[in-house]
Structure 1
Amino acid sequence: MQPLSRLASVLPLAAASLVSLSLQAEEIRYNQIALRAEVSEEISHDLMHVTLYSEAQERNPAKLAADITRTLNAAIKQARGVAGVTVALGSRHSYPVYDDKRQNITAWRERAELRLESADFAALSKLTGEMLKDLKMAGMDFSIAVATRKAHEDALLKDAVAAFKARATLATEALGGSGYKLVNLNLSSAGFQPPMPMRMNAMKGSMMMDAAVTPEVEAGTSQVTISADGVIEVQMP
């Protein structure tokens, strides 16, 4: 057991150490301010996506599946014949159709999707119009290719850091500081894609039935933003 005199001397030292640590913690946060800077750019979409589908109803589910498969296979072959267009199967599902009392199955209905993608808008638009003779359109949208987005984000990153440094200097001057130290800095990206319009060429009379209807496309743009969030410590004179 420690003598009371030694114990009494240890307690003040421990208390002093705690006070010192507390003061150091306060000093770390002293004159620190959080800042945020953002830079944005409108980037043109360079990828076009089209989703087409085949849908039919039949009493015999096996015949229905076979008909849908033949339609899809023909469409895939047609799409693969166009350079620069990638094709992939989308969702496919079937479900029973009941009578009015919902007691007996009267038929089966099946739907299967085909997804097309290309950077050649004219080629994909023309192909889509041709395929609309046998398929229906589920949707058309546009996006920025990964490589395109990365190239723009790399350029914006430098601008975001420069904007953060300018804001840090401005804040330091406003506080009457002689300079600042960077405590931490986080960089993040975000993008916003508004709805893209799609129009169909106007066709008259029998031309509507006989000719392929080519969709007119307006790819539009997306806004890509780089944010710089950080903390600086202002050094006072």
Structure 2
Amino acid sequence: MRHFLVLATLLTGTAMAADVAPPRNIVNFESQATREVPNDLALATLFVEFTDADPARLAEKVNLALAGGLKLLKQYPTVQSGGTSFATYPLYSSKNNKQEGWRSRGELRVSSKDFAALSKLVGELQKSTGTSPMQLAEVRYAVSDEARSKAEEGLIEEGIAQFKRRAGVIQKSMSASNWKMMSMNVNTSGFRPEMRPMMMKSAAMMDAAPAPIEGGESRLQVNVSGSIQLAD
């Protein structure tokens, strides 16, 4: 008898679940809010490259150059170090494909919101200051985390307000008496400018005033997607 009661209960529950109708009048859509935000952060990568038959001597050259760059960096408190990197690879002769030496590349990455200080530092690093001068590989720009967070908060408000306005338009177009929110997703994204590679400057150019760094703008975007249910 107990087995029969359990089976009957399960069958009744299944029948009740089957009787539950899926939600009606569900509409899925999305809205967007975008804003151009000034890039307040500049990031530069500088490097040195040397060739030598002795890998130990080669490493010493690169380390001395990077140490000199880090020492100069300390004179600019508004510029932050993004770290250094070091890579060594063999060189082969084009005639007999035999190894004929080694080549090493050391990189120094720096960043700052103080564009004037960063520009001046980059210029100094490209000069010979007791160690080998560094070359500028690239400068790229971004929105700092603080500025991005503040801008995204405003964009989220705009995106949700736009979503509600569209919900009202859909309700009116469908001659519905009302609508209610069923689900909502909020996603943020950003489009940053491409990296700007810089050519090696000549000695005469290095003695001139450092070129100004122009950050430009990045486009931030918030996507709000979800579903609403229209009332009959």
TM range (shorter): 0.7 to 0.9
Partner of 1:222: 218
Q: Distance in 2 between matches of 1:71 and 1:106?
A: 23
Determine whether 1:157 maps to 2:153.
no
Identity %, equivalent residues: 29
**Match of residue 127, structure 1, among 111, 121, 124:** 121
Determine whether 1:101 maps to 2:96.
yes
Q: Distance in 2 between matches of 1:233 and 1:213?
A: 63
Partner of 1:21: 17
Structure 2: unaligned runs, 5 residues or longer: 128-132
- Residue by residue over 1:22-60, the C-alpha shift from the partner in whole angstroms, topping out at 9 and shown as x without a partner, is 34232xx20111121111100010000000001111122
Residues 1:98 and 1:176: Cα distance change in structure 2 (over 3 Å): same
Q: Distance in 1 between matches of 2:82 and 2:139?
A: 15
The two structures have a TM-score, normalised by structure 2, of 0.86
CA contact (8 A) 1:49 1:115 kept: yes
Secondary structure at 2:87 match in 1: strand
Structure 1: unaligned runs, 5 residues or longer: none
**Letter paired with 1:214:** P
**Letter paired with 1:207:** A
Residues 1:151 and 1:127: Cα distance change in structure 2 (over 3 Å): same
Determine whether 1:66 maps to 2:60.
yes
**Structure number, greater radius of gyration:** 1
Partner of 1:115: 109
Partner of 1:44: 38
Q: Distance in 1 between matches of 2:50 and 2:134?
A: 11
Q: Distance in 2 between matches of 1:25 and 1:101?
A: 78
Displacement after TM superposition at 1:126 (Å): 1.2
Q: Distance in 2 between matches of 1:80 and 1:156?
A: 38
